[in-house]
Amino acid sequence: MSGTLHGRHLSLLVVDDHRIFAEVLSMRLMREPGVDEVRVAYGLDEAKVLSHRSPPDVVVLDYELEGQPGPLLIEELNDLPVPPPVLMLSASSSSKDIVDALGAGAAGWVLKGTQVDVLLSAIEEVLEGRTYLDPTTVRPVVQHLLRDNRSRSEHSFVDDLPRRQVEVLRCLVSGLSRAEIAERLYISANTVRTHVQHLLHASGEHSTLALVSRARALGVPGIDAPGDRGRPSSR
């Protein structure tokens, strides 16, 4: 045992649709000093219920759950009074998957098959507010981000958006829910839904998660960040 988490009293939530893997990992983590509780969820809906019932200190989350993107859970966790850091644990080493997850708010990425001591070190890192990436993924991720950075100077779908849709997009980048966007911009929830549909169409993306990741890659700031296009209009 590594003792990496010694002195802590952690509650962990493992979210993975591979039941045997999740249960074995849960039992192994429970043997670690500093871990008081490990709960397991096998899908997004179950994870949402468990997280809101008793918020964990860290969520260990698979990237894909029963055909759904695991990072969708992060938006739900942001509604908690103190959102827990989310550490992705996936078999994928795709730089795009990693960047998408980080863009959605994940705090780190660990490859399945990694030794438990490394996973424990990653948990410690995200608890301290730092980002953890598997060393083998760092260079591909940096290269991916550099390509995205170069694309910022090129024309993008954001350049053609009406002001109000830019505001909605910036709210999404800030992690606001649709209800919060409606309240922030003084518009109805139905109007927010319509704007999001237009944003998805304009960007060519098929999910809000991918839309937000694309917007962040293009340099779109959150609604509270400085920006000459960020102040809500009265229209």
Q: What confidence category does residue 185 fall into, taking pLDDT thresholds of 50, 70 and 90?
A: very high
What is the model's pLDDT at position 194?
Answer: 95
> What is the distance between the alpha carbons of residues 235 and 227, in angstroms, rounded to a whole number?
19
pLDDT value at 216 more than 80: yes
10-148: CATH topology is Rossmann fold (3.40.50)
Query: What element of type H or E holds 19?
Result: helix 19-30
**DSSP structure class, residue 133:** E
160 and 202 Cβ atoms separated by less than 8 Å = yes
121 and 4 Cβ atoms separated by less than 8 Å = yes
pLDDT value at 235 more than 60: no
Q: Where in the chain is the domain with CATH 1.10.10.10?
A: 157-217
Q: What confidence category does residue 79 fall into, taking pLDDT thresholds of 50, 70 and 90?
A: confident
pLDDT value at 222 more than 60: yes
CA distances from 8 to 24, 34, 39, 81, 116 (A): 22, 4, 17, 21, 17
pLDDT value at 60 more than 60: yes
Q: Where in the chain is the domain with CATH 3.40.50.2300?
A: 10-148
* Mean pLDDT value across residues 159-182: 93
The reported pTM is 0.64
Scan for tokens 């096998």, then name that residue.
42
pLDDT value at 226 more than 60: no
- Has domain 157-217 been given CATH number 3.40.1080.10? no
Residue 25: phi and psi, rounded to 5, are -60, -40
> What is the distance between the alpha carbons of residues 11 and 153, in angstroms, rounded to a whole number?
44
Q: How many CB atoms lie within 10 A of CB 188?
A: 10
pLDDT value at 120 more than 50: yes
% of the chain beyond a pLDDT of 90? 71
* Mean pLDDT value across residues 62-74: 90
pLDDT value at 231 more than 50: no
